[in-house]
C-alpha cells in the first residue's frame, strides 16, 4: 500500500469573544501592565510577613496531623499543599531562600509519600530550617548562612529515593 500525501489542512476563521477582544483597541500596554503589577507587589510586600507567619502556623497543624496519621496520604497531601503555597508565595515576593526551603520540604513530602514511609527527623529539620530562612529573609540572620542550610536540606531529601515514575 502506497502512502498517500495528506490533503492540505483547511483553516477556518473562528470568531469568538476572545478573538474579538484581542482585536480591540485599548487596554494597557505590556509595559504599563508590568509596571502596575510591580507596583501592586511592592504595596503588598508589607503584608507578606503576616501571610507567611499564618501559613507556617497552618503548616505546623498539618504536619502535626501527618505525624499522628503517618500512613494517611491525604494528611501528607495537605502538608504538601501548604508547603507549596509557602514556596509560591516566597517566589512571588522575591524571598528566594524561603522558596527554596519550602520547595525542599515539598520534595521531601513527595518522596516520603511515594516510598510509603515517614521520617519525623527529616520533617522536623525542614520545619526548623523554614524558621531559620524566614529569619534570614527578614534580616534577623546573616544571608551567608543560607546556602549551607539549603545544602543540608538537600542532603536530607537525598536520603530518600526519587520515585521513578
Asked if the structure places residue 126 within a domain, the reply is: yes
Q: Is residue 53 assigned to a domain?
A: no
The reported pLDDT for the residue numbered 1 is 57
Structural domain harbouring 121 = 72-165
CA gyration radius for the chain? 23
State the pLDDT at residue 126. 97
Domain count, the chain: 1
| Helix, strand, coil content of the chain in percent (nearest 5) | 70, 0, 30
* Cβ within 8 Å of residue 59, ≥6 positions away: 79, 82, 83, 86, 127, 130
Query: Does 29 fall in a domain?
Result: no
Residue 119 counted as domain residue: yes
pLDDT in the model for residue 6: 79
Q: Is residue 34 part of a domain?
A: no
Instruction: Give yes or no for a contact between 108 and 117, defined as CB atoms under 8 angstroms apart.
Output: no
- Supply the pLDDT for residue 2: 65
Residues in the chain: 165
In a domain, 30, yes or no: no
Q: How far apart are CA 112 and CA 157, in angstroms?
A: 9
Identify whether 54 is part of a domain.
no
Mean pLDDT for each 10-residue chunk of the chain (165 residues)? Answer: 76 81 76 88 87 95 97 96 96 91 97 94 96 84 86 95 83
Domain presence at residue 76: yes
Amino acid at each position: 500500500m502506497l502512502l498517500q500525501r495528506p490533503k492540505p489542512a483547511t483553516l477556518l476563521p473562528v470568531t469568538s469573544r476572545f478573538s474579538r477582544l484581542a482585536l480591540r483597541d485599548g487596554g494597557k500596554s505590556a509595559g504599563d501592565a508590568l509596571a502596575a503589577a510591580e507596583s501592586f507587589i511592592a504595596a503588598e510586600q508589607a503584608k507578606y510577613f503576616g501571610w507567611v507567619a499564618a501559613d507556617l502556623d497552618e503548616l505546623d497543624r498539618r504536619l502535626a496531623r501527618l505525624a499522628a496519621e503517618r500512613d494517611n496520604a491525604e494528611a501528607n497531601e495537605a502538608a504538601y499543599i501548604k508547603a507549596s503555597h509557602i514556596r509560591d508565595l516566597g517566589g512571588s515576593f522575591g524571598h528566594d531562600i524561603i522558596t527554596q526551603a519550602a520547595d525542599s520540604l515539598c520534595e521531601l513530602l513527595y518522596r516520603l509519600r511515594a516510598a510509603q514511609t515517614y521520617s519525623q527527623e527529616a520533617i522536623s529539620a525542614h520545619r526548623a530550617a523554614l524558621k531559620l530562612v524566614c529569619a534570614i529573609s527578614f534580616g534577623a540572620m546573616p544571608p551567608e548562612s543560607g546556602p549551607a542550610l539549603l545544602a543540608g536540606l538537600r542532603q536530607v531529601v537525598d536520603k530518600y529515593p526519587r520515585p521513578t515514575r
